[in-house]
Amino acid sequence: MPYCAVCHKAGQPESVYTSHFVRQTPHKDSPVTCPLILNNECKHCMRTGHFASGCPLLRKEARERRQEQCNQRKRKFEQEEARAKEQQKVRQASKNPFDALNDDSSDDDEPEAPVQEGVVPNLESKRHFPRLINWAAMDSDSEGEE
């Protein structure tokens, strides 16, 4: 006995929803036979033969939207990955001690304070005494006195 679930849900009489199936065969690609669906106008594309929930144009737009979102996430990930690689290159210090001579980040670019005549620079911030390496170096002055 034929049965159309769409007509039944729409409140059609039993004589209508038991007179046909939704499709010719149970396969999802088979042609629709339900007169309610065939006469329905889609609210999205304004064509007849389907509901908005099954609109092929709406599905295509949703698929394209998801693909674009995926591409945006992929581009963002690639940019972050490239930025991380650049930062990694900056962080990696060279083991060659002579690479410091090639470094352009010298302090020569900063202007020095002009020297004025008759003004004594503040020497308190600089060390006036030689740096003592160990206790023997401190006692080295007394060796000559013995």
Phi, then psi, of 41 in degrees rounded to 5: -100, 125
Pick the range with the lowest mean pLDDT from 35-44, 62-71, 95-104, 116-125. Answer: 116-125
Residue with more model confidence, 46 or 95 = 46
3-state helix, strand, coil split of the chain in percent (to 5) is 45, 5, 50
Whether pTM > 0.85 for this model: the answer is: no
Give the pLDDT confidence score for residue 146 in this predicted structure. Answer: 47
Domain ranges in the chain are: 5-39, 55-92
Contact, 55 vs 44, CB < 8 A?
yes
